[in-house]
Amino acid sequence: MPTISIFKDDFESLLAGDGRRKPAVSVEQLEEWLMLVKGELKGHNSETGELRIELQDSNRPDLWCCEGIARQIRIKQQGKLKRYSFLRQKPRATQYLIVAPGLDRVRPYVAACTARGYRVTEEGLAQLIQTQEKLADIFGRKRRTVSIGLYQLAKIQFPVTYDLVKPDQAKFTPLGMETVMTLSEILMVHPKGLEHGHILEGHERVPLLHDAKGQALSFPPIINSREVGEVQVGDEDLFVEVTGTDLPMVVLTLNIFAANLADRGARIAPIETRYPYKTVLGKSVVTPQDLSKPRTIMVKTIEQALGQSLGAHEVKKALEVYGYAVSVGKNKVKAKLPPYRQDLLHAMDVVEDVAISRGYNEFLPVMPAQFTVGGLSRIEQLSDRARELMVGLGFQEIISNILGSPENYRNAMRLDGTEWGRMVEVDNAMAVTFSCLRQWMLPSLLRVEAASSRAFYPHRLFEAGEVAIPDPLHELGSRTETVLGAVLAHATAHFSEIHSCLDVLFYHLDRSYTLEPLAHPSFLEGRVGRIVSEGMPFGVIGELHPEVLERWQIGVPIVAFDVNLTQLAASK
Amino acid sequence: MDISAIIDSLHPLEIKVLTAFGASPDGVTLATEQLATATELEPSQLSMAIEWLLAKSLLSVESEAVTPVVSLTNIGEAYFEKTAPIERVLAAAREVASTGKRLTIPDLQTTEGLDPSDVSKAVGRLKKEGVLLIVQGGCIESTGRPSPSAEAMRTLLQQLHNGSHELDSFPEAHRQLIQDHAVKRGNAKEPFRVDDRVARCFALPPMGVTAADHLAKQGVTEEVSQLSPELLKDGSWRNKRFRKYTISLRAPRIGTGKKHPYREFLDTVKTKLVSMGFQEMRGSLVETEFWNMDALFMPQFHPARDIHDVYFVKEPTHATSLDEPFLSKVTKAHENGGTTGSTGWGYKFDTQRAKRLVLRSQGTAVSARTLAAAPAVPGKYFSIARCFRYDQVDATHATDFFQVEGIVLGEDINFRTLLGLLNLFAREVAQAKEVKFLPAYFPFTEPSVELHVRHPRLGWMELGGAGLLRPEVTLPLGVTVPVIAWGLGLDRMAMVALGIHDIRELFTDNLELIRTTKGIF
């Protein structure tokens, strides 16, 4: 989840709230407070005051910024969240936003507000931009579901229209460019167009935000106009807009921005958006808007989950200092999230907030007391037994990646086009060296052989581990089975040597077996056998084909076996 | 060194040489040949024993005589079998004399196939003896006289074929011929070889005399190096002395059968978990998105489900079916919460997406399967599951790795018992007494905890994450009691304990490293 950069000075002023004196915050103190926001301090530059903080909770985008972190800590210190007055305010009659028909099929939702009276500082601007990026990138899934625009309010004449236009019909100078470009040109040439253009793929007409004068504000979700949509240090009045595909997410994002700017001292004024189509919030939507609904939770539910009796008032206190609005009923509480949060899916979410608010270390750990019997799976027991025997036979255990390359698992084993060469392959491999799952064990051991010609001989290696065997009859298309592979490599390695090892292994695993002649391309003809027990095949044993050794650049003969332990375990 | 220590250190070969000097060894000198006769040792063994004794100053060289000895080289043996160049030249010259043909030096080289230097040497010697004449046109003519050199050559070849002789045993003329035709630096193609034979006479210095006396008094207890079944069978070991070994030498290296150090570490963890009452679970390397993510209440639009985070299977792309009632119940939990008491994520669940096959990206998938398979209540389960992440491989990121994780079900499970369990893990797995519990986030637990411990050697480190499974996870799978889900991050602990700094080395292909890395206890 996101790692953000904040500045200590900026953090301290936000923590103090408007008009108060800044208390100095030590790094140790900060680290402790960060528990309230599931944050971890990743770095600290004492010269610039920069703090790198990683935020864990992907459902709390309000915390991915300096304002949000400071707010959560401030509430705890002040005992209660200060109400945001803009939520009760009526929008000015002149300031509204019109949505054009047809956008419901492209990018249906937009929400906006204005912020006046906050002179943008350098640190404040850096935070605004960072929040915009993190929210659009992670919460908004790379602008697909949510994207954000900030503008100089003074240059905009209301009403603003969220329009749908042909890409060749509109043009403006985008951020980062010097010249006027049409929307098609932006999609083809501008870095942001190239990066995010796919979001609008397949649409003949695309979104355009423009004001009453017809002046373009931005081309959502691609890029802002350079003339109107470039906020600079010193600007005082801002217009904030969010577009997207999910109205609650769009509104939440705007709420976060409104709260952030309000915390910095701006006066937020809501804006009404007029839709030509129905939305979950109606055809006229005023934003910012508090979408959170109070939820009634039995105190007992919270106490049972936490393993601690608290009483309704303790719960109320804990939740209030965490930003909730709470009222207490008989054996229950009615809890409501602050407007910048939308992550209350279940009562358990409230339970966690009670615990975080009180502090995890306030809870006394108790051992689970109920008795249970431990044990290993049957296959693990068999595998452990086989491993013990292999160690006793003088073999060194190996442990390998399961994800590997077709070259190693199939081609170098001369298994191209054979039944033994079938494997589970990956569709979106990053590199061909990690693009398929091993279907047997010997290539994993040959990997070690190929790299270890300078380690003194003889080499006796084994690995017991999982492989994936393609199986069209299985619902997952493959079976995961545990296989034991062993190789013996030295100048005079001989079939009978590995055969003796197999013999001991099967004797002590209490299985009888026979070897049946087999034509297997990885082995020398006439020196390879299928291991058969009670009519069932369990693996192969043989002397590796010289061409296989050549492909692996191995300079000594190798005898080997590969035994399927899962099938062996199931056979008895 | 005290004499008995010296005696004890003697090799049987050395004893043979010392005792060859007889009962009163003082003043006795013996030549190499005499020693060979007396000890009945092979020349190589004898010279080994002599060198050892000289090094120990138990033997000294009394005198040293150098004698040149002549022997035949391989070429000489060939000359003996066939003819020497001088004989060939002479025979050729005599033959042309009877047929009247002309014979030149180049003819000798081509027709007789002789080396130019051999030809000129032979012609020169024969001309000097008056056996050949060089006439006009460079033709060679025989005078008919006998050649002493050719005859001497034949005599020498015959004599030396039977064995080497001292150079001085030959008359002067022969010695000259030998010197002319002996192998020298820059000329290896000659029939004779003259070697210096060093004849040494040995005596015993005072220390040697003492040792020999000692050996004589001790009697002839034969020394053996190896106790054998025969010695045990007939009891003759009683009359033997067992040579003492130099035990301070380094032991020769041998290959060992042993477990892989990392696997051994995981085995320890496995044993601990079993001893704490955990039952092992196994799962599939290939999973559906349903069990890997949907059943864990990760919404299908969750960023961690992106193409860049999970490996998708190429063929087949989708599972043939998903089990009911789990599919319907999980679908409802995602869409509107169903009967879980949740609001759900509020989106349209895509069943086809749920069937998409991926490489298991988290061990919790195994837990989800267990929850759906009527687990025991109370119950504790664990798995050490291989998982796959779509990550650039580097020193801290592996593409496949083990996750140690599991679940605990029970009526008594709550936030405090969760902390109690984590305390137990800290103590048992990391031997840590100090712990810190930090709020954390996992998509499938609420509340979620991160466990930090102060490891006795490693200091503060994150040991694992845990939480109470969300009802949206447990209820659709048919579990009505609270469930802890936990996971331990043990790779870093294993790496530090094994002294490696690169996560890729946990699966190294370097046999020497695997053989020499010590296990962890």
Mean pLDDT of B249-267: 92
CA distance B403 to B386: 6
Nearest to B509 among A373, A447, A454 (CB): A447
CA distance B33 to B35: 5
A52 in the same domain as A146: no
CA distance B175 to A178: 106
Check CB contact under 8 Å for B260 and A478. Answer: no
Check CB contact under 8 Å for B278 and A372. Answer: yes
**pLDDT tens track for B163-205:** 888 888 888 888 888 888 888 776 778 888 888 888 889 999 9
Check CB contact under 8 Å for A476 and B286. Answer: yes
Contacts of A468 in chain B (CB under 8 A): 285-286
The pLDDT assigned to B521 comes to 58
CA distances from A14 to A7, A70, A284, A441, B293 (A): 11, 6, 34, 59, 38
DSSP codes of every residue in B343-368: ----S---HHHHHBEEE---THHHHH
Residue type for position B75: I
The residue segments making up the domain with residue A150 are 85-287
Establish if B270 touches chain A: CB-CB under 8 angstroms.
Answer: yes
Contacts of B251 in chain A (CB under 8 A): none
Nearest to A391 among B253, B259, B283 (CB): B259
Nearest to A427 among B259, B312, B393 (CB): B312
A235 in the same domain as A211: yes
Residue A547 has pLDDT above 80, yes or no: yes
Residue A106 forms part of a structural domain: yes
Is the distance from CB of A453 to CB of A554 less than 8 angstroms?
yes
The pLDDT assigned to A384 comes to 98
According to DSSP, the residues that pair with A161 across neighbouring strands are A98, A210
Q: Under the phi-then-psi rule, with left for phi > 0, alpha for psi from -120 to 50, and beta for the rest, what region is B259?
A: beta
Nearest to A374 among B277, B419, B471 (CB): B277
Check CB contact under 8 Å for B337 and A455. Answer: no
The arrangement of secondary structure in B74-190, i.e. its CATH architecture, is: Orthogonal Bundle (1.10)
Who has greater pLDDT, A29 or B82? A29
Q: Could you say which DSSP state residue A376 is in?
A: -
According to DSSP, the residues that pair with A52 across neighbouring strands are A5, A43
**Total of domains in chain A:** 4
Torsions phi, psi for A140 (to 5 deg): -90, 10
A229 in the same domain as A117: yes
Residue B307 has pLDDT above 80, yes or no: no
The pLDDT assigned to A18 comes to 66
> A436 to chain B, minimum CA–CA distance in Å?
9
Check CB contact under 8 Å for A399 and B263. Answer: yes
Who has greater pLDDT, B156 or A239? A239
A552 in the same domain as A509: yes
Q: How is chain B split into domains, by residue range?
A: 3-66+199-218, 74-190, 262-516
What residues contact B182, with CB distance under 8 A and at least 6 apart? B70, B190, B192, B193, B194
The pLDDT assigned to B268 comes to 92
Q: Is B74-190 the same fold as B3-66+199-218?
A: yes
Per-residue pLDDT band for B439 (boundaries 50, 70, 90) equals very high
**pLDDT tens track for B11-51:** 888 888 888 887 777 778 888 888 888 888 888 889 889 98
A interface test, pick of B282, B388, B500 with most A CB neighbours within 10 Å: B282
| Percentage of residues of chain A with pLDDT beyond 70 | 99
Which among A225, A253, A287 is the end of a domain? A287
A306 in the same domain as A265: no
Least confident of A179-188, B148-157, B310-319: B148-157
DSSP codes of every residue in A308-371: S---HHHHHHHHHTTT-EEEEETTEEEEE--TT-----SHHHHHHHHHHHH-GGGSPP------
Establish if A395 touches chain B: CB-CB under 8 angstroms.
Answer: yes
Nearest to B274 among A141, A365, A376 (CB): A376
**pLDDT tens track for A379-429:** 999 999 999 999 999 999 999 999 999 999 999 999 999 999 999 999 999
Nearest 5 degrees, angle CA B373-CA B376-CA B379? Answer: 120
The arrangement of secondary structure in B262-516, i.e. its CATH architecture, is: 2-Layer Sandwich (3.30)
Torsions phi, psi for A439 (to 5 deg): -105, -10
The pLDDT assigned to A380 comes to 97
For chain B, the average pLDDT equals: 88
Is the distance from CB of B472 to CB of A346 less than 8 angstroms?
yes
Who has greater pLDDT, A374 or A1? A374
Residue A367 forms part of a structural domain: no
**Token pair belonging to A96:** 């509204």
At B481, which helix (H) or strand (E)? Answer: none
Residue A299 has pLDDT above 90, yes or no: yes
**pLDDT tens track for B409-418:** 999 999 999 9
The pLDDT assigned to B129 comes to 83
In the sheet that A50-55 helps form, which strands lie side by side, from edge to edge? Answer: A3-7, A50-55, A39-45
Residue B280 has pLDDT above 80, yes or no: yes
CA distance B63 to A449: 58
Check CB contact under 8 Å for B319 and A348. Answer: no
Question: Nearest 10 degrees: CA dihedral of B251, B253, B254, B258?
Answer: 100
CA distances from B139 to A79, B96, B97, B102, B108 (A): 131, 10, 11, 6, 11
Mean pLDDT of B271-291: 96
Who has greater pLDDT, B222 or A540? A540
Rounded to two decimals, the pTM is 0.80
* Chain A from 423 to 462: CB within 8 A of any B CB: 424-431, 434, 437, 447-452, 454-461
Contacts of B300 in chain A (CB under 8 A): none
Which among A287, A303, A338 is the end of a domain? A287
Query: Measured between alpha carbons, how far apart are the two ends of chain B, in Å?
Result: 46
Which among A360, A391, A414 is the end of a domain? A360
**Token pair belonging to A222:** 């691609």
* Chain A from 205 to 234: CB within 8 A of any B CB: none
3-state SS class at A111: strand
For chain A, the average pLDDT equals: 94
**pLDDT tens track for B67-124:** 888 888 888 888 888 888 888 888 888 888 777 777 888 877 777 777 888 888 888 8
Per-residue pLDDT band for B221 (boundaries 50, 70, 90) equals low
**pLDDT tens track for A143-190:** 999 999 999 999 999 999 999 999 999 999 999 999 999 999 999 999
A175 in the same domain as A50: no
* Chain B from 43 to 82: CB within 8 A of any A CB: none
Where b means 16+ CB within 10 Å and e means fewer, A299-317 reads bebbbebbbbebebebbbb
Residue A451 has pLDDT above 90, yes or no: yes
- Interface size between A and B, measured as CB pairs under 8 A: 280
* Chain A from 525 to 554: CB within 8 A of any B CB: none
Burial class of A10 by CB neighbour count within 10 A (0 to 12, 13 to 18, 19+): buried
> B248 to chain A, minimum CA–CA distance in Å?
23
Where b means 16+ CB within 10 Å and e means fewer, A76-99 reads beeeebeebebbeeebeeebbbbb
Establish if B466 touches chain A: CB-CB under 8 angstroms.
Answer: no
CA distance A64 to A130: 9
Residue A474 forms part of a structural domain: yes
**B132-135/B139-142 β-pairing:** antiparallel
Is the distance from CB of B224 to CB of B15 less than 8 angstroms?
no
Check CB contact under 8 Å for A448 and B509. Answer: yes
A310 in the same domain as A169: no
A46 in the same domain as A29: yes
Chain B, nearest residue to A450 by Cα: B509
Residue A366 forms part of a structural domain: no
Per-residue pLDDT band for B219 (boundaries 50, 70, 90) equals low
Check CB contact under 8 Å for B286 and A402. Answer: no
Q: What is the CATH number of the domain that holds A304?
A: 3.30.56.10
Residue A373 forms part of a structural domain: no
A145 in the same domain as A92: yes
Q: What is the CATH number of the domain that holds A443?
A: 3.30.930.10
Who has greater pLDDT, B408 or B13? B408
The pLDDT assigned to A76 comes to 93
Check CB contact under 8 Å for A360 and B400. Answer: no
* Chain B from 204 to 233: CB within 8 A of any A CB: none
* Chain B from 125 to 164: CB within 8 A of any A CB: none
Q: What is the CATH number of the domain that holds A259?
A: 3.50.40.10
Per-residue pLDDT band for A204 (boundaries 50, 70, 90) equals very high
Mean pLDDT of A218-229: 93
Contacts of A390 in chain B (CB under 8 A): 257
According to DSSP, the residues that pair with B135 across neighbouring strands are B139
Establish if B376 touches chain A: CB-CB under 8 angstroms.
Answer: yes
The pLDDT assigned to B166 comes to 85
| Percentage of residues of chain A with pLDDT beyond 90 | 91
Check CB contact under 8 Å for A305 and B390. Answer: no
- Of A251, A293, A58, A38, give the one whose Cα is nearest residue B298: A58
DSSP codes of every residue in A55-88: E--TT-GGGSSHHHHHHHHHHHHHSSPPP-GGGT
**Token pair belonging to A507:** 């004797």
Residue A185 forms part of a structural domain: yes
Residue A572 has pLDDT above 80, yes or no: no
A554 in the same domain as A520: yes
Who has greater pLDDT, A551 or B239? A551
CATH number among 1.10.10.10, 1.10.1200.120, 1.10.510.10, 3.30.390.50, domain B3-66+199-218? 1.10.10.10
Residue with tokens 């069937």: B355
Q: Which one of B94-103, B122-131, B333-342 scores highest in mean pLDDT?
A: B333-342
What residues contact B129, with CB distance under 8 A and at least 6 apart? B145, B147, B148, B149
The pLDDT assigned to B494 comes to 85
Residue B316 has pLDDT above 90, yes or no: yes
Residue with tokens 């799962």: B283
- Of B2, B1, B5, B35, give the one whose Cα is nearest residue B19: B35
Nearest to B419 among A351, A365, A479 (CB): A365
A558 in the same domain as A434: yes
A562 in the same domain as A542: yes
